[in-house]
Amino acid sequence: MSKSTASRICKELRDRYATFMARELSAVKLVALSLDAIYLPVRPLGAKEGVLCAWGISETGERVLLAVMLAVALEPAERQNHLLGLKKPEADADWLTDDGVRSALRGAALRLGQETVTEKDYHVERKKIAAADRRRRRHGGQLRMPSYKEIKRKAGSWSAALRLAGLKTA
């Protein structure tokens, strides 16, 4: 296979993955959430690598794949946090990206079992996560979940942030 063909295929796969991760999830009503890892051969001659999956069970009993990512670059303690939209703090003050907004809001909606997240619900959920993080901090550092003000500043408004995350707006 030529370099240009390989490059084109990789770009197409990255685009399809980005589309999958940015898809609308507000219509999916979940009764259960499961975070799992499966080990797949991701390279022809390489060892199997962990692939993290966030699965949901809908009200109709259907299994729904919500998120998927390669676990190689993450420490074990970071894997669940990444799938749920939590990040480690970074020195850069402008650390929040569109993907960060999307994953933080989707993660909060999944944890709350709701189709959308109000600013107040997000704030309360963020405080719960921070309290749990303080208890486990001695095992690997502090996590960073953006505040609702940071999310609003990045997206322009709370409604815009919800739309960016593919969640239902009020």
Stronger pLDDT, 167 or 69, i.e. the higher one: 167
Range of the domain at 88: 3-165
Tell me if 29 is assigned to some domain. Answer: yes
Tell me if 170 is assigned to some domain. Answer: no
Exposed, middle or buried, 81 (CB in 10 Å: 0-12/13-18/19+)? buried
**Which residue is listed with tokens 């960016």?**
164
CA dist., res. 154 & res. 131, Å (int) = 25
* Residue 70 confidence (pLDDT): 72
Q: What is the average per-residue pLDDT within 123-149?
A: 69
Tell me if 30 is assigned to some domain. Answer: yes
Q: Give the CA distances from residue 27 to residues 2, 8, 18, 166, in Å, rounded to whole numbers and listed in that order.
A: 42, 33, 19, 9
Tell me if 11 is assigned to some domain. Answer: yes
92 confidence band (pLDDT: 50, 70, 90):
very low
Tell me if 117 is assigned to some domain. Answer: yes
Cβ atoms 45, 126 nearer than 8 A? no
Structural domains of the chain, count: 1
The model's pLDDT over 30-77, given as tens digits with 9 standing for 90+, comes to 788 777 778 888 777 777 777 788 888 888 888 888 888 776 555 555
Tell me if 56 is assigned to some domain. Answer: yes
Q: What is the average per-residue pLDDT within 88-99?
A: 58
Tell me if 160 is assigned to some domain. Answer: yes
- Asked if the model's pLDDT at residue 81 lies above 80, the reply is no
Tell me if 62 is assigned to some domain. Answer: yes
